[in-house]
Every structure is written in C-alpha cells, then in structure tokens.
Structure 1
Amino acid sequence: MKRRGHPEADIQRQIVNGLRAILPAGAVLHHSANEVTAGGEAARRTQSILRGMGVWPGFSDLLLISEGRVLFLEVKSQTGRQSDDQRAFQAAVEAQGFVYELVRSLDDALRALAKHGFKTLIKGWSL
C-alpha cells in the first residue's frame, strides 16, 4: 500500500472496506467526521460551529450498529495514542453499558466484532 502520510486514515479505509464486505444487510457502519484537520482561523470557526451543532470531542472514528448491538471503534496507528477527549468519550460510553474498542488493524476490528457477539455473513465465523 502506498503511504500517504495518514496511517490512521489508511487503516480506517481497510477496516471499513473489510467490514462492509462481511456485515449483514442493514448493518450501519458510520464514520464520524468530528474534527477539522486543517489549520487557521477558518478551521477554528468551522470546528466551533460543528461543536455547537452537537459534535462531541473525542467521538470514536467508527460507530457500528447491527442487530441491536452497538460498537464504538477508535482507529489508531501502531504507535498512535488516545487523546484526553477520546479517553473521556470512552469512559462516557462504557459507563452507559456500551462497548468501545481501540483498533489498529482490520484483524483487531474483526476480533472486536467476535468478542462482542456481532454476526457476519461468514458461515461458522469466529476468531
């Protein structure tokens, strides 16, 4: 794979493509575009507007809803670490009984699905 300088974005694309191929019909896999990565005053204004419209700081990169189950996935590179906002979001989600996983690869995401009982289109699937 060609390196583009955005390893987390590349990993997330792999996860999304892999999960879309195996999740049952009707499953919702959503990316939360919750931050503006450009700099400058325009970006700060845009981020402020987004927060005013309900963007939650630290919201996970991916949200999966399937057959009554909900899973929040935070995508990181092999060396990436959660921000304080991301740790606070994880704590808020888990305090309400939902599941949150930090994943660094498609294999990690597949293990998270299996761990939390998500069904796939693969017969006899388990990790």
Structure 2
Amino acid sequence: MTAEHQIQNDIRVALSSRGCTIFRANVGKVKMENGRWFDTGLPKGFPDLCGFRKSDGKMIFIEVKNERGRLRADQKQFAEFIEQYPVIYGVCRSVADAIKLIE
C-alpha cells in the first residue's frame, strides 16, 4: 500500500509541471516544551494539498487518500462546504486522479 505522503509528493511534482502551484497543508496539533498546544489554525478537514492553476488562477483543493483511505466526517463536511464555490476540489488516490481533476 502506498503511503499518503508519497502520493502527496508525487501529485505536487506532477501538477507543478502542468502549470499549477501546489502547497502541502500541514495540519494538526503538537505539545510544545512549555506545555501549551500549538495548532496550525487550519479548519478541521482541510485538504492535504491546496494551490492554484496558473492559467486562470482557479484555486485547487485536493484531499489525498491511499488505496484504502476513507474520508473522515470533518473531511466530508469540508467537501460539502467548498463545493458551493467556484474552485477545483477532489479526492485523489494517484497522480492520474490529480491530473484528471485539474484538466
């Protein structure tokens, strides 16, 4: 089974060569040395990758899953929210899925 971070990296490289700028959205919490929690500030369910298509400036949001991965409830909620806007959103399990999404 392919690790999701490897699929993310492969997608970033492939889409970059196809006229897109794609960033990895690091999300989560970590406990700091002083005992306080640091939160990235992105909303729960925010996709793994985001960026834009240079040809028209259209925003891209990609949730990356491996062959067996499933969307969590907060990821489904984000998908429902973002799909009401004129952006590109999709769940991709491979580079081929991501290329299809942006074309």
Matches within 5 A, 1:52-67: 55-66=42-53, 67=56
Q: Which residue of 1 aligns with 2:17?
A: 21
- Find the aligned partners of 2:51 and 2:43 in 1 and give their Cα distance: 17
* Paired letter, 1:31: R
Aligned length: 98
- Find the aligned partners of 1:8 and 1:31 in 2 and give their Cα distance: 12
Query: If you compute each CA radius of gyration, which structure gives the higher value, 1 or 2?
Result: 1
Q: Which residue of 2 aligns with 1:12?
A: 8
- Give deviations 1:40-81, integer Å, cap 9, x for gaps: xx178123xx33xxx111101111312221221110001001
TM-score w.r.t. the length of structure 2 is 0.81
**RMSD of Structure 2 on Structure 1 (CA):** 2.1
TM-score w.r.t. the length of structure 1 is 0.67
Q: State, as a whole percentage, how many aligned pairs show the same letter.
A: 27
Q: After TM superposition, give the deviation of residue 98 of structure 1 in Å.
A: 2.6
Match of 2:100 among 111, 116, 123: 111
Matches within 5 A, 1:29-40: 29-36=22-29
Q: Which runs of 5+ in 1 are unaligned?
A: 115-127
- Give deviations 1:71-97, integer Å, cap 9, x for gaps: 211100010011111111111101233
Greater helix fraction, Structure 1 or Structure 2: 1
- Find the aligned partners of 2:91 and 2:99 in 1 and give their Cα distance: 12
* Paired letter, 2:21: V
